[in-house]
A and B are shown apart, each in its own frame.
Chain A
Amino acid sequence: MGGEKHTGEVKAYICMCEKVTLEDVDKALKEGIRDLESLKRKLRIGMGPCQGRFCIPALISYVSRKLGVPPEKLAYPIVRPPLEPVPAKLFLQVKYDEI
Chain B
Amino acid sequence: MMRYETIIIGGGITGLATAFSLANKGAGKVVVLERNYLGSGSTFRSAGGIRASFTSKEHIALMKRSIELWGKLASELSIKYARSGYLWLSSTEKGFEKLKAYMKLHNESGVPTRIVEEDFVKQVAPHVDTSRLVGALFDPLAGKASPFDTIYKLYAAARSLGVEFRTEENVEEIITHQSVVQGVRTSNQRLEAENVVVATGAYVHELLKPLSVDPHVEPIPHYAAITEEFGRLFDPLIIDFESGAYAVQTFHGNVIMGVETPEKPYSSLEVSIKFLYKVVKEWSKWLPWLPEVNILRHWPGYYEVTPDHHPVLGPVNKYEGLYVATGFSGHGFMMGPVTGEIIANWILRGDPGIPEARNLTLERFESGKLIQELAVIG
A residues apposed to B, CB below 8 Å: 31-33, 35, 37-38, 41-42, 44, 47, 49, 51, 80-82, 85-89, 91-92, 94, 96, 99
Binds A, one of B55-63, B97-105, B190-198, B286-294: B286-294
A37, B45: Cα distance in complex, Å: 13
Residues B148 and A91 in contact, CB atoms below 8 Å apart: no
Minimum Cβ distance to chain A for residue B305 (Å): 21
Residues A80 and B292 in contact, CB atoms below 8 Å apart: no
Partner of B278, one of A86, A88, A89, A99: A99
Residues A92 and B284 in contact, CB atoms below 8 Å apart: yes
Residues A81 and B37 in contact, CB atoms below 8 Å apart: no
Partner of A51, one of B44, B159, B273, B296: B296
Minimum Cβ distance to chain A for residue B227 (Å): 7
Q: Which residue of B lies closest to A78 (CB)?
A: B299
Q: Which residue of A lies closest to B297 (CB)?
A: A80
B276 interfacial contact with A, CB 8 Å: yes
A70, B192: Cα distance in complex, Å: 34
Residues A92 and B280 in contact, CB atoms below 8 Å apart: yes
A86, B277: Cα distance in complex, Å: 13
Residues B295 and A82 in contact, CB atoms below 8 Å apart: yes
Partner of A87, one of B252, B278, B291: B291
Residues B40 and A86 in contact, CB atoms below 8 Å apart: no
B residues apposed to A, CB below 8 Å: 36-40, 44, 148, 152, 155-156, 159, 165, 167-168, 227-228, 252, 261, 271, 273-274, 276-278, 280-281, 284, 290-299
Cβ–Cβ < 8 Å partners of B38 in chain A: 38
Residues A81 and B277 in contact, CB atoms below 8 Å apart: no
Q: Which residue of A lies closest to B259 (CB)?
A: A99
Partner of B37, one of A35, A44, A89: A35
Cβ–Cβ < 8 Å partners of B148 in chain A: 41-42
Q: Which residue of B lies closest to A28 (CB)?
A: B152
Residues A33 and B152 in contact, CB atoms below 8 Å apart: yes
**Interface residues of chain A: helix, strand, loop or mixed (majority):** loop
Minimum Cβ distance to chain A for residue B32 (Å): 12
Residues A89 and B292 in contact, CB atoms below 8 Å apart: yes
Q: Which residue of B lies closest to A88 (CB)?
A: B280
Cβ–Cβ < 8 Å partners of B261 in chain A: 99
Residues B294 and A85 in contact, CB atoms below 8 Å apart: yes
User: Which one of B152, B156, B292 has the highest number of Cβ atoms from chain A below 10 Å of its Cβ?
Assistant: B152
A35, B280: Cα distance in complex, Å: 33
Q: Which residue of B lies closest to A41 (CB)?
A: B148
Cβ–Cβ < 8 Å partners of A44 in chain B: 252
A82, B228: Cα distance in complex, Å: 12
Q: List the 9 shortest-distance A-B pairs measured between CB atoms, nearest first.
A: A89-B291, A85-B294, A80-B297, A94-B277, A91-B276, A88-B280, A91-B280, A38-B37, A37-B37
Partner of B298, one of A47, A49, A80, A89: A80
Partner of A88, one of B36, B167, B290, B299: B290
Partner of A92, one of B39, B281, B294: B281
A14, B67: Cα distance in complex, Å: 37
Report 6 cross-chain contacts, Cβ distance below 8 Å, ordered by A residue: A32-B159, A41-B148, A80-B299, A86-B294, A94-B273, A99-B277
Contacts A32-B159, A80-B297, A99-B274 known; A49 to B44 CB distance under 8 Å? no
A99, B148: Cα distance in complex, Å: 32
Residues B227 and A42 in contact, CB atoms below 8 Å apart: no
Q: Known pairs A85-B228, A94-B274, A96-B274. 19 more at Cβ < 8 A?
A: A31-B152, A33-B152, A37-B37, A37-B40, A38-B38, A38-B39, A41-B148, A49-B228, A51-B296, A85-B295, A85-B296, A88-B280, A88-B292, A88-B294, A89-B291, A91-B277, A92-B281, A96-B277, A99-B278
